[in-house]
Amino acid sequence: MKICVIGLGYIGLPTAAMFARSGLDVLGVDCNETIVHELNQGRTLIEEDGLAEWIPGVVASGKLRASTTPEEADAFIITVPTPLDVEKKADLSFVESAARSIAPLLRPGNIVVLESTSPAGTVEERLKPLLEQSGLSAGTDFSLGYSPERVIPGNILRELVTNDRIAGGIDGASAKKIAALYRAFVQGSIYETDVRTAELCKLAENTYRDVNIAFANELAKISENQGVDVWEVIRLCNRHPRVNIHQPGPGVGGHCIAVDPWFIVEKNPEDSQLIRLSREINDRMPLYAADLASGILSAIEHPAEEEHPVGATYPKGVGRPVVAVLGIAYKPDVDDTRESPIRTLIEELERRGMDVRWHDPHVKNQPGNAPGTLEAAEGADLLILGVNHTEFRQLDYRSIARSMRHRNLLDARGSVDAEAARSAGFLVYALGRGHRLR
């Protein structure tokens, strides 16, 4: 059996590699020539646990090849981006161009599966008409449907195999064929359903998480007002057998949770008020974290030597405040900075006149990355833990403290060892921990 996977990103490449390892002949297609060239040499540009070890083997065995153009195959899997446009609506142009490239290659008996997260109705309204320009009829001549991935970046290769999966078909026979296709490597259950249900499930799963995180973020602000520690509140609430409150933080990043709820709002503007509000609450969190940072800097009692330039609006207390931020990836232990709330936080601090340095051990080839934590913290008035990467779990607070101008620490993730930091001389603040700094 031959499979053509269109789009070799964070999902497409691991999926292609998984099918190839299961013994199928896979052609990976991407418009980016560098990705195609590198893959054909057995290399990947994506940092994902285990992937770099797998790729050389499947490429050397000839089971996985890459090209910039698709070829005839038994099954086509579309894993291209579906970004938000400026009106917060899904940009389906990549899905549509994938469909246009498949149509001339379609043969009776083929299977076409969309995996890209899309508004409910996309397969029937946007994909099907383009594929049927081949002269073949979906359902009658070829199978068509939607089967969303549910993998978590950082654990993709394991979760592709073990997670349960949904196979949505435009008819029952399509759902069955799609389920059988993924059986090649999925060990979890595969649930067959109709295509629109599958599309909405994907959106609902990520929206559930977004709304829950918005609740946690609201609880963080409430805890600050009430002089309690939100991290303790959530830890204790979650001992209830039916409560699972997510974690607050400086915002929601990545290409899924911060985006997918808008695909529901787009189609249901009147009936998605909680979803829209949650999105707005989470989008505001980087600014909230910036307010906390400004509050801490304003509380510094001994002004630095520098004079305030005329007209500057820095917080009182220091001259031009220097802030060191640890982590800019969108979440722990990944190199991905898409929609990272920490980037927004840094931009906001800079807009407020602060001199911001940052370090992220996972993020490669991005200008501005200080060589290490100590270098980023040199001369800083405030250290912010932005992302709780494993590397930041045990920081050398004594050395960091020695290199800073003022020893302030803002923990935006509730994961700093406050005792260790305090004994090195830090004043430790945390988002959601009753300081009333705003």
Chain-centre distance for alpha carbon 358: 20
Q: 3-state DSSP call for residue 146? A: strand
Separation CA 236–CA 346 (nearest Å): 32
Residue 37 C-beta: closest distance to ligand SAJ, Å: 26
153 binds ligand SAJ (CB under 6 A): yes
Q: What CA–CA distance (Å, rounded) separates 192 from 180?
A: 10
- Residue 314: CB minimum distance to ligand SAJ, A: 29
Region for 147 from its dihedrals, namely left if φ exceeds 0, alpha if ψ lies in -120 to 50, beta otherwise? beta
Based on the shown chain and the rule CB under 6 A, indicate whether residue 168 belongs to the binding site for ligand SAJ. no
- Contacting residue, 58, 167, 213, 214, with ligand SAJ by CB under 6 A: 213
CB of 157 to ligand SAJ, least distance (A): 13
CB-nearer residue toward ligand SAJ: 145 or 327: 327
Task: Tell me the C-alpha distance between 4 and 276, whole Å.
Answer: 36
Q: Is 80 in the site for ligand SAJ (CB under 6 A)?
A: no
C-alpha to C-alpha distance for 302 and 306, rounded to whole angstroms: 12
Q: Report if residue 331 touches ligand SAJ, rule: CB under 6 A.
A: yes
Instruction: Note whether 122 binds ligand SAJ by CB under 6 A.
Output: no
In the set 176, 202, 221, 331, the catalytic residue is 202
**Would you list the DSSP string of 38-96?**
HHHTT--SS--TTHHHHHHHHHHTTSEEEESS----SEEEE-----B-TTS-B--HHHH
Question: Binding to ligand SAJ by residue 206, rule CB under 6 A?
Answer: yes
Residue with tokens 């001369």: 379
How many alpha carbons lie under 13 Å from residue 308 in its C-beta half-sphere? 11
User: Tokens representing 18?
Assistant: 């998984």
**Does position 128 bind ligand SAJ by CB under 6 A?**
no
Cα distance between the two ends of the chain:
61
Residue 149 binds ligand SAJ, judged by CB under 6 A = yes
Establish if 7 lies at the interface with ligand SAJ (CB under 6 A): no
Which one among 88, 126, 150, 320 touches ligand SAJ, defined by CB under 6 A? 150
Q: How many residues belong to the site for ligand SAJ (CB under 6 A)?
A: 20
- 362 within 8 A of 389, measured Cβ to Cβ: yes
- Considering the complex, state which of residue 88 and residue 320 has its C-beta at the smaller distance from ligand SAJ: 88
Smallest gap, in angstroms, from Cβ of residue 340 to ligand SAJ?
7
338 part of the interface to ligand SAJ, by CB under 6 A: no
Residue among 136, 144, 149, 132 at smallest CA distance from 15: 149
Judged by CB under 6 A, the stretch of 127-135, 251-259, 312-320, 361-369 that binds ligand SAJ is 251-259
Strand partners, 409: 383, 428
Q: Applying CB under 6 A, does 78 fall inside the site for ligand SAJ?
A: no
Residue from 16, 252, 412, 430 binding ligand SAJ (CB under 6 A): 252
Which of the residues 256, 267, 316, 364 is marked catalytic?
Answer: 256
User: CA nearest 122: which of 141, 148, 85?
Assistant: 148
Among 254, 261, 414, 432, binds ligand SAJ (CB under 6 A): 254
Among 89, 209, 338, 402, binds ligand SAJ (CB under 6 A): 209
Shortest Å distance, C-beta 131 to ligand SAJ: 24
Residue span 219-248 as binding mask against ligand SAJ, x where in contact by CB under 6 A, dash where not: ---------------------------xx-
CB nearer to ligand SAJ: pick between 59 and 220: 220
> CA 413, CA 330: separation in Å to the nearest integer?
12
- For residue 31, indicate whether it is catalytic: no
Tokens linked to 323: 């802030």
Report angle CA 65, 162, 261 to the nearest 5 degrees.
85
Region near ligand SAJ per CB under 6 A, out of 74-82, 125-133, 135-143, 250-258: 250-258
The answer to whether residue 202 is catalytic is yes
3-state SS assignment for residue 235: helix
Return the biggest CA–CA distance within the chain.
78
CB 254 to ligand SAJ: min, Å: 3
- Alpha helix locations (H) across 114-194? 122, 128-131, 156-162, 172-182
Q: Active-site positions?
A: 202, 256
Give the binding site for ligand SAJ (CB under 6 A).
117, 149-153, 205-206, 209, 213, 246-247, 249, 252-254, 256-257, 330-331
